[in-house]
Amino acid sequence: MPLIARTGAVSIGLWALCAMLLTAPALAQGGPSAVQVDPVVRQPLIATTDVLGRFVARQSGTIAARVAERVDGVEVQVGDRVARGDVIAVLSNDRLTAERERMIARAKAATANINRERANLEKAQQALDRQNRLKGSTAFRPDRAEDAERDVDALQAALATSQADLIDANAQLSLSEIALQDATIVAPYDGVVTVRHVSAGAYVRLGDPVVTLVNVAELEIEADVPAQRVGALTPGTLVEAETQSGAMLFAVVRAVVPEEDPRTLTRAVRFVPQGEELYPAAANESVTVQIPVDRSRDVLTVHKDAVTVQAGRRVVFVVEDGKASPRSVDIGESVGDRFEVIAGLNEGDQTVIRGNERLRPGQAVVVGG
């Protein structure tokens, strides 16, 4: 194709493209605009104030050694999750095993002593019975009968002592078995290891800490609420809370601690987080709790996406007879993702929440999903 012809074809194409771009907005403005709507509804509004709280564990603390021994090994590291009954650490048990064997031997010796004393008592009782049968005859001797009675009394006392020795030996055997069991330190509840206090080779005394454990599966929220606000927080009251990361969650009042801090005039309130998938909180993590300050009242509300600002005033487009009608509105407090409507809208008005940025007064609209 000659150069002039090709240049002419390109020019015609450019003119056609420009004509399409210029006429497209006009065509779009002439037709109805697709929008999404949301009704103005009446709902309860509860005025709240923010109180800073924190997540606290219902179960936490140091897991201590119950026997004094050398540490053979620690089975967990910081951050490990353990279940109730899992082994945390193992102490040396050779001395404890030997002590248990000694207590077994002592219990056996006490049992043998009981058998011997019981046999001696039966023999002495037989001698006493023979003397008693001789009463009234010339062969009866009162001094021998008295000696036989004293022998029976002495052997009864000896038998009682041997029986007490057996009780003591069995008790000591039980203690040695408990000590042997305590050489294996187990988790008393589900939790996460936050601190490991000992390592293999260390010596722990009775009561020394081994690890610190926190049950993060049963965290509560504790907030110091001003005393004049706790009247609205009865057990079972539902409140909303926000974590430092911006996550929202609900919590229910479990208890109001009946003790007031005289310096801050606040009372501790415990809240239980709600929901099947709870927020993965950490102990002592900060959280803001929204505490109600008065009784709820019913108000008209409009979705926040319906409110636009035009020429310095708040405007909401309402769909009436298939057309967009602008309304100047006064709004009040925030209610979740909605605003309180003070003036300008009525209950049931269908407000535009999508597509309202390009609307003109009186423009035809088509309501979509």
**Residue 6: inside a domain, yes or no?**
no
Cβ density class 213-235: b for 16+ within 10 Å, e for less: bbbbeebbbbbbbeeebbebbee
Enter the tokens of residue 154: 């002495």
Please check whether residues 236 and 287 belong to one and the same domain: yes
Q: Is residue 7's pLDDT more than 80? A: no
Residue that has been written with the tokens 């967990």 in this structure: 76
| Residue 209's CATH number | 2.40.50.100
- 66 lies in the same domain as 194: yes
Asked whether residue 19 is assigned to any structural domain, the reply reads: no
| Average of per-residue pLDDT values in the chain | 86
Phi, psi (rounded to 5 degrees) for 26: -65, -40
Q: Is 16 part of any domain?
A: no
177-185: average pLDDT: 95
Residue 170: closest CA among 107, 109, 108? 107
**Is the pLDDT reported for residue 18 higher than 90?**
no
Number of domains in the chain: 4
What pLDDT band is residue 277 in, cutting at 50, 70 and 90? low
Per-residue pLDDT, averaged over 53-67, amounts to 94
At residue 282, the 3 state secondary structure works out as coil
User: Of the candidates 241, 265, 295, which is a domain's last residue?
Assistant: 295
Mean pLDDT to the nearest integer, 51-70: 94
Q: Cα 161 from chain centroid?
A: 54
* CATH number of 286's domain: 2.40.30.170
Q: Are residues 258 and 335 in the same domain?
A: no
Which of 273, 295, 317 represents a domain boundary (last residue)? 295
**Same-domain check for residues 129 and 174:** yes
Distance, in Å, from the CA atom of 321 to the CA atom of 349, rounded to the nearest integer, reads: 12
320 and 255 assigned to the same domain: no
Residue spans of alpha helices (H) in the chain: 3-30, 94-133, 142-182
| Containing structural domain, residue 207 | 60-92+183-214
Is residue 7 situated within a structural domain?
Answer: no
Instruction: Please spell the DSSP secondary structure of 147-178, one letter per residue.
Output: HHHHHHHHHHHHHHHHHHHHHHHHHHHHHHHH
Supply the pTM of this predicted model. 0.60
Note whether 69 and 108 are same-domain residues. no
What is the arithmetic mean of pLDDT over 176-191? 95
Q: How confident is the model at residue 152 (pLDDT cuts 50, 70, 90)?
A: confident
275 domain residue, yes or no: yes
| Domain presence at residue 2 | no
Higher pLDDT among residues 278 and 242, named by residue = 242
* Shared-domain flag, residues 119 and 143: yes
Judge if 210 and 79 occupy the same domain: yes
Mean pLDDT across 25-32: 51
Least confident of 18-22, 141-145, 226-230, 340-344: 18-22
For residue 196, being part of any structural domain is answered with: yes
How does strand 350-354 pair with strand 330-335? unpaired
Q: Is residue 332 part of a domain?
A: yes
One domain, residues 85 and 187: yes
Q: How does DSSP assign 57-76, residue by residue?
A: ESSEEEEEPSS-EEEEEE--
> Are 145 and 250 in a shared domain?
no
Write out pLDDT tens, residues 90-143. 999 999 999 999 999 999 999 999 999 999 888 888 888 877 777 767 677 777
- The pLDDT value given to residue 278: 67
